[in-house]
Amino acid sequence: FWPDTDLLNELVEWQEAMHYIDDATGVCAGVSSFMPKPPYHIHNYPLMLSAATGIDFDEDSLWKLAARNRNLIRAINIRRGLKKEDEHPPDDHWKKRFPEFEAELLDNYYKYRRWNDQGVPTKEYLHELDLDYVSEDLEQRGFLPSIGEAKA
C-alpha cells in the first residue's frame, strides 16, 4: 500500500502552515499544530487574531501568510546552499527504505509547492505571494533563470 501523494502533500502543508502561523502569532504548538485535535487551527485563528489585533483576518490571508513564510525560509535555505540531494530522511529513519518512492514523494512535493524541479520557488509563485524581491535575489544569484532563459 502506497498512500496517495496528494493526500500526503496536503497533510504536510497543513502541518507546515500551522507551525508558521503558530510561530508568527506566538501560540504554543503544543496546543495547536502538534495535537491530533487542536483547539487552535486555521479555521478559528482568524477570529482570534482579528479580535486581538483589530485587523481583519480570514483563512485565505492566513494561508498566504504561511505560504509567504514557507517560501521566504525556503529561499534563505537555497541561498545558504540547500540542494535537492540534501533533502532526504536520515539513513536510520526507517527500517526499510524505498528510494524510488522517496524520490517520487519529493518531486511531487516540489510540484505541489509550486517549486521547480530543484526545489526553488518559481518566479510566478513568488510574485503571487508579493515576494518579487525574493525572486529577483534568487535570479541574481543564479538559482532562477533570467528573463529570456529557459525555465528552471
Confidence of residue 145 (pLDDT cuts 50, 70, 90): confident
Q: Percent of the chain having pLDDT more than 90?
A: 58
* The predicted structure's pLDDT at residue 152: 44
Dihedral, 123, 126, 130, 134 alpha carbons, nearest 10: -80
The whole-angstrom separation of Cα 67 and Cα 133 is: 16
**Weakest mean pLDDT among 39-48, 69-78, 115-124:** 39-48
Mean pLDDT of 65-69: 95
Please tell me the predicted confidence (pLDDT) of residue 1: 63
Domains of the chain, start order? 5-140 (1.10.599.10)
The fraction of the chain above a pLDDT of 70, given in percent, is 95
